[in-house]
Chains A and B, each alone.
Chain A
């Protein structure tokens, strides 16, 4: 079935790729899939439905979804300005957008904590308003907005670049207002990309650890994210319990991504 090609090396490169993939990615993931069942079916169920576990899952998935949803309008604004407008410092801004991806998560974690701590640059401004961000679930939201933002911007930029200007110009000559053009022409065309950006930001945020744990406060039932609970279970040598929670997170994130993918495909078909 391999297409006739004059090039050599398919056997050796494919062999090396499969070997490396199996050793580094697949074997470890097999352990994740198999180890929870040492507890038995009832044991796994009990391990993943404990109130503290459910609270952490609700927090991880809820905060990630909210952060991704907030990143959609913020990311749309930034992507739109970056693609459509020319302004001084644009190249610098373009590099800055990648900052959350290049900055190690632990660095992001302590710097956001320093900013939002009661005496930090932002904390001082928010305190009179009665807003406490550091060491609360609100801090988790801020950290997840930070790490997810580039995913929305980078997903939207190429799509905005490809939007046909003619459609907007025709609508304008036909007497449409700018608001009508945005609502009837631009947003529908961007819908699949907005959804894709939301999904990418969500996928990154659900499992996020380093940038969150410093600012979260990590109170069980209140501000304890699911990845932290995995770490705690490992420290108690509860390997099966840690694996069970890890497996639930992995399966749930894949299910959500698959659903978003299907939704996006349906939208693309409708627009084609």
Chain B
């Protein structure tokens, strides 16, 4: 019985989870290394990699700082509306990616509330880089806070109160006591936030406008190449994103071992 169930599980994991990963790399290498190198010789492909890095470089630090601030006030204090605040912070997790992009078009699109005014001022948000950043920030908003809040609640305030009693200022306490205590959790949240920021498709697809070489992140470039029947190109960029996913999973396993918790959430 035990052997049968384990074997069945192994088959399911290979068929459902491993094969979709494996096919990415075999399709990318269908024409050998030359096909891969040809894809990276395209300026549009390089531009999409650069844009993905820019979007993540803006989004992740912003959400890390605000997520840590949210974890400080929710994890360290009791106040009315605290539960409601947590629910609102996690809200983007249950919203469809397409809706996460749609809401920004409703605000800043050509027919949006603020779109026409900003357009006259020469500011374009939708179909431009700021829209990509806003949509990605919405989608990755909860990641850091939802990892740090339970961690900080569990750690308690004793060490920080001791530091304050000994005469440390608030900032000193944060940098010398709190941050070292939450550093692995923070890194964990940043890791998940970054993975989603670089891999997001639905939300950025709605606000991007698909201008090649200008508003295409890597996942959008994958779609464009796939629709052009450039399978090797599409799977090469997809392979790069898959390597990022594998790296994320490896670092995640390492961090879980550090935090001392197995099988944590990865949403």
Contact = CB atoms under 8 A, between A and B. Distances in A.
Contact of B161 (A7, A18, A82): A7
A32 B198 contact: no
A198 interface: no
Given A26-B88, A103-B242, A107-B241, A249 B96 contact: yes
B248 interface: yes
A262 interface: no
B226 A81 contact: no
Interface in A129-177: 145-146, 149-150, 154, 157-158
A197 interface: no
Nearest to A210: B201
A98 B136 CA distance: 21
Given A3-B78, A5-B157, A253-B94, A21 B88 contact: yes
B73 A78 contact: no
B125 interface: no
A170 B96 CA distance: 46
B98 A227 contact: yes
Interface stretch (A44-52, A186-194, A200-208): A200-208
A232 to B, nearest CB: 11
A221 interface: no
A104 B263 contact: no
B223 interface: yes
Contact of B9 (A26, A81, A111): A81
Given A13-B69, A107-B238, A210 B267 contact: no
Contact of B202 (A25, A227, A253): A227
B154 interface: no
A121 B218 CA distance: 26
Interface in A100-117: 100-108, 110-112, 114-115
A115 B6 CA distance: 24
A35 B16 CA distance: 40
A267 interface: no
Contacts of A115: 19-20, 23
A230 B203 CA distance: 12
Given A2-B78, A24-B141, A243 B2 contact: no
A98 B266 contact: yes
A257 B226 contact: no
Contacts, number: 286
Nearest to B126: A234
A246 B99 contact: yes
Contact of B102 (A82, A149, A230): A230
Given A106-B238, A250-B99, A99 B72 contact: no
Contact of B99 (A3, A150, A207): A207
Interface string B161-173: 1001100001001
Contacts of B231: 114
A231 B77 contact: no
Given A7-B77, A214-B226, A112 B20 contact: yes
Given A24-B138, A91-B253, A121 B202 contact: no
A259 interface: no
Contacts of B262: 94
B24 A111 contact: yes
A214 B205 CA distance: 14
A209 B79 CA distance: 38
B94 A114 contact: no
B91 interface: yes
Interface of B: 1-2, 5-6, 8-10, 12-13, 16-21, 23-24, 27, 66, 69-70, 72-74, 76-80, 85, 88-89, 91-92, 94-99, 102-107, 109-113, 134, 137-138, 141, 157, 160-161, 164-165, 170, 173-174, 195, 198-202, 205-206, 218-220, 222-223, 226, 231, 234-235, 238, 241-242, 245-246, 248-250, 252-253, 262-263, 265-267
23 contacts: A18-B85, A21-B88, A24-B134, A25-B91, A26-B88, A28-B106, A32-B99, A74-B16, A77-B8, A87-B6, A91-B253, A94-B262, A94-B263, A96-B17, A102-B249, A105-B219, A107-B24, A107-B241, A110-B222, A154-B265, A227-B202, A237-B110, A246-B99
The 10 lowest CB-CB distance pairs between A and B, nearest first, are A207-B96, A104-B199, A28-B103, A210-B201, A209-B202, A8-B170, A227-B98, A102-B245, A31-B106, A106-B219
Interface of A: 1-3, 5-10, 12-14, 16-18, 20-21, 24-29, 31-32, 35, 74, 77-78, 80-82, 85, 87, 89, 91, 93-108, 110-112, 114-115, 120-122, 145-146, 149-150, 154, 157-158, 178, 203, 206-210, 214, 227-228, 230-231, 234, 237, 239, 242-243, 246, 249-250, 253-254, 257
